[in-house]
A and B are shown apart, each in its own frame.
Chain A
């Protein structure tokens, strides 16, 4: 079983600060996806990375996929209260339909 470990489990910061969330595995994934989930809602896909060393930017969010395709990071610049949520990483195997999720990082951004 491929396991994804996310760190930290919980992050509380002030508006305007930066934060980084990590997702690590001992196994190689064909792709890695990041989601954000808010209470009472399903996860919403933020980005998918498939190439080792790939960096993607989505406004204030920067996603990186490790060269060996075993780890990833999500960096948020100048966090805003709207960034509050549960951030989940998920690894894709060659068959898309089965995603392996990390336990998630709960991010709280206070004004």
Chain B
């Protein structure tokens, strides 16, 4: 079966612009989480959606937002980009909501802000 698909794979934006990243979970998976990965901070949780509702949110400013559609696809948006937003953005999907449920990650979107 197809894995988690993130688009685009690479993106270069200018400071002050906004960006939208997309994540298509594995078919049948209803939970989608987003993470930011940087060399200095590692993997940090952004937010999680389940059945179109945001259930958890990490400690990121309001410039970071997301949503989930009825087909479980998710998007995240970053407005007023800053140089520090340069990172690998990862999306993970899961079939059910349990602590021991396997999480499948996409390949990520590499965002560079110049």
Contact = CB atoms under 8 A, between A and B. Distances in A.
A92 interface: yes
Interface residues of B, number: 29
Contacts of B44: 101
Interface in A36-69: 40-45, 48, 50
Given A98-B56, A101-B44, A33 B107 contact: no
Given A97-B48, A97-B50, A42 B97 contact: no
B4 interface: yes
Interface of B: 4, 31, 33, 35, 42-45, 48-50, 55-56, 58, 90, 92, 94, 97-108
Interface of A: 30-31, 33, 35, 40-45, 48, 50, 88, 90, 92-104
